[in-house]
Amino acid sequence: MVTTTFRIGGDLRVGRLGFGAMHLPTEPAPDRANALAVVRRAVELGVTLIDTAYMYGWGANEELLAEALHPYPEGLLVTTKVGVARPKGEWALDGRPEALRAQVDQALTRLRTERVELLQLHRVDPQVPLADQIGALRDLRAAGKIGRIGLSEVSVDELAEARGITDIASVQNRYNLLDREYEPVLAACEQAGIAFLPWRPVAWGAAGARAEIAAVAAETDATPTQVALAWLLGHSPVILPIPGTASIEHLEENLAATGLRLTPDQRDRLDWLPAGD
């Protein structure tokens, strides 16, 4: 049986199918009005996990979410990410403790909150010792500014090193039905009970082109996107997909995947992908 909720960090309960806010436009109306409507509709439909980052519009995405949802409904988790900066007009990694502290303070202001319940390191900065980066986040947690620490785009070894410094509640790596490069990281998360938030949970444009996915979609009267999301939800109980969209129609399509149940035969056929079609 596929579970519908997960407790991040062992205590923060969220629905397993979240919403990635990266694709929401932050420009003036009418695009902004549509973006506000999409994220509000997501919450109306029961989404309790929304993912954003400083890098998404360099703070504009966080401000958009606050405009749409503040004061936040009880039980809603808005998680953001730090560690990427734009010092000379182009993005660059910046895991210096002072930079992480400043970005967290700025995120708190933009999100209109005193505490981010899940704060993720967007990328590990190879120029800064990982212990310094994780240590800065650990100190921010001790100060009450963040509740739980997550990582993004990490290897098994980096995850293990970080866990040797402090508790890690989540990992956000690229992963989908047709891209399973980080299967070892997922396995490590599953063993430790760590939430795994796959970004790009659907292979854009590719899912419907694979014959097996299209066949399962036809058998279940679903879309290839719904099949891909349902596969993720059934693949591991720690997976929390965060599909993003700027369309209410696509949002509703994505969330309907929670009601799609794949048979053992269908799942077995999909499990062989992406090795063969």
CB 65 within 8 A of CB 35: no
56 is catalytic: yes
Distance between CA atoms of 192 and 204, rounded to whole angstroms? 30
Catalytic-labelled residue, pool 54, 56, 175, 182: 56
What is the Cα–Cα distance from 108 to 24, expressed in whole angstroms?
20
Return the closest-CA partner of residue 23 out of 255, 243, 177, 260. Answer: 243
Cβ(182)–Cβ(277) below 8 Å: no
Catalytically annotated residues: 56
